[in-house]
């Protein structure tokens, strides 16, 4: 079953976010660990488009979906990443209905969107056959993850969730607490009420819910709240923590 189908069906799916280790072995290591997807980060990490192209090809060849967090709401980032083989886009700092719609339209070919046509590239495994078939496949299978991580986004979350083509609402938990004036206070009623509002918007419009967690307890907590698309990260923290546990 494709990742898009699992997201559409609101199935539980698990993956990882990669911020630093853009090594060709990473997709295979994560696949072997049980991940179904990887989100490669361009917002905070030093990932280049050329690096992502290599990682996307390796990921797709090993049946683990490569997603990319672009650095900003921008057509060029969306279209280029998809042409290079991304299974979907994570868009940060999306505040309004208009911004979310721009991401969706940038990811879809006409008549569903504004994505420019180029075929025979990495996105269709270098096969130059049946472009119309690929257009239909891409429009139906590519994934759009919209991050809800500001007070303004929270105020517009119901409108954003209602957009056809928004597949997942992803809580940017630390940024959300920052913009709510309670940095890092994940047990605050303000934060928990905000999460409830996002959960309700997703359920109303039958969208997946996503978040990054740092440990098993957090995974269980957010899963119980209704989050089905969960990633572990950051890999720097996981590596450091694992080494420390051995050395202590």
pLDDT tens-place string over residues 169-221: 999 999 999 999 999 999 999 999 999 999 999 999 999 999 999 999 999 99
d(C-alpha 151, C-alpha 128), whole Å: 45
Handedness of CA 161, 166, 168, 170 (dihedral sign): negative
Please tell me which residue, 46 or 68, carries the higher pLDDT value: 68
188 belongs to a structural domain: no
Instruction: Please list the helix, strand and coil fractions of the chain in percent, rounded to the nearest 5, in that order.
Output: 45, 15, 35
Longest CA–CA span in the chain (Å) reads 59
43 near 80, Cβ under 8 Å? no
Domain-located, residue 193: no
Task: Report the pLDDT value the prediction gives residue 128, as an integer from 0 to 100.
Answer: 77
Structure tokens at 200: 């309700």
Return the pLDDT at 248.
Answer: 85
Query: Which secondary structure element, helix H or strand E, spans residue 29, and what is its range?
Result: helix 26-33
Model pLDDT for residues 119-167, shown as the tens digit of each residue? 888 888 888 777 888 899 999 999 999 999 999 999 999 999 999 999 9
- From CA 35, how far away is CA 3, in angstroms rounded? 12
| Residues spanned by the domain of 75 | 3-143+211-247
Share of the chain above pLDDT 90, in %: 88
Residue 204 forms part of a structural domain = no
Share of the chain above pLDDT 70, in %: 100
pLDDT at 63: 96
What six digits make up the tokens of 27?
């997709």
Compute the distance between CA of residue 198 and CA of residue 209 in angstroms, rounded to an integer.
Answer: 8
Structure-token pair, residue 181: 């004036």
Residue 234 clears pLDDT 90, i.e. is over it? no
CATH classification at residue 20 = 3.20.20.60
Q: What per-residue confidence (pLDDT) applies to 118?
A: 86
Q: Is residue 137 part of a domain?
A: yes
Give how many domains the chain has, as a whole number: 1
Per-residue pLDDT, 124: 83
113 falls within a domain: yes
Judge whether 76 lies within some domain. yes
Confidence (pTM): 0.95
CA 166 to chain centre: 11
> How high is the pLDDT of residue 131?
84
Q: Specify if 39 maps to a domain.
A: yes
**Residue at token pair 């080494």:** 243
**CA pair distance 36, 20, nearest whole angstrom:** 19
Residue 100 domain-assigned (yes or no): yes
């Amino acid at each position: 079953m494709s990742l898009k189908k699992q997201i559409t069906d609101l199935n539980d799916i698990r993956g990882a976010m990669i911020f630093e280790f853009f090594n060709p072995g990473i997709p295979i290591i994560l696949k072997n660990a049980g991940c179904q997807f990887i989100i490669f980060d361009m917002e905070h990490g030093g990932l280049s488009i050329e690096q992502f192209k290599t990682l996307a090809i390796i990921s797709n060849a090993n049946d683990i979906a490569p997603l990319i967090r672009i650095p900003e709401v921008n057509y060029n980032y969306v279209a280029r990443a998809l042409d290079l083989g991304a299974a979907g886009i994570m868009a940060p700092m999306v505040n309004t209905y208009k911004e979310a719609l721009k991401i969706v339209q940038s990811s879809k070919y006409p008549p569903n969107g504004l994505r420019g046509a180029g075929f025979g590239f990495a996105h269709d495994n270098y096969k130059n056959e049946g472009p119309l078939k690929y257009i239909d496949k891409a429009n139906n299978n590519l994934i759009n993850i919209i991050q809800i991580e500001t007070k303004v986004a929270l105020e517009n979350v119901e409108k954003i969730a209602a957009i056809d083509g928004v597949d997942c609402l992803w809580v940017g938990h630390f940024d959300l607490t920052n913009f709510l004036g309670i940095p890092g206070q994940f047990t605050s009623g303000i934060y928990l009420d905000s999460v409830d509002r996002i959960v309700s918007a997703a359920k109303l419009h039958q969208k997946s819910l996503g978040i990054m967690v740092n440990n098993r307890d957090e995974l269980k907590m957010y899963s119980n709240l209704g989050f089905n698309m969960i990633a572990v990260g950051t890999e720097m923290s996981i590596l450091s923590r694992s080494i420390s546990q051995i050395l202590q």
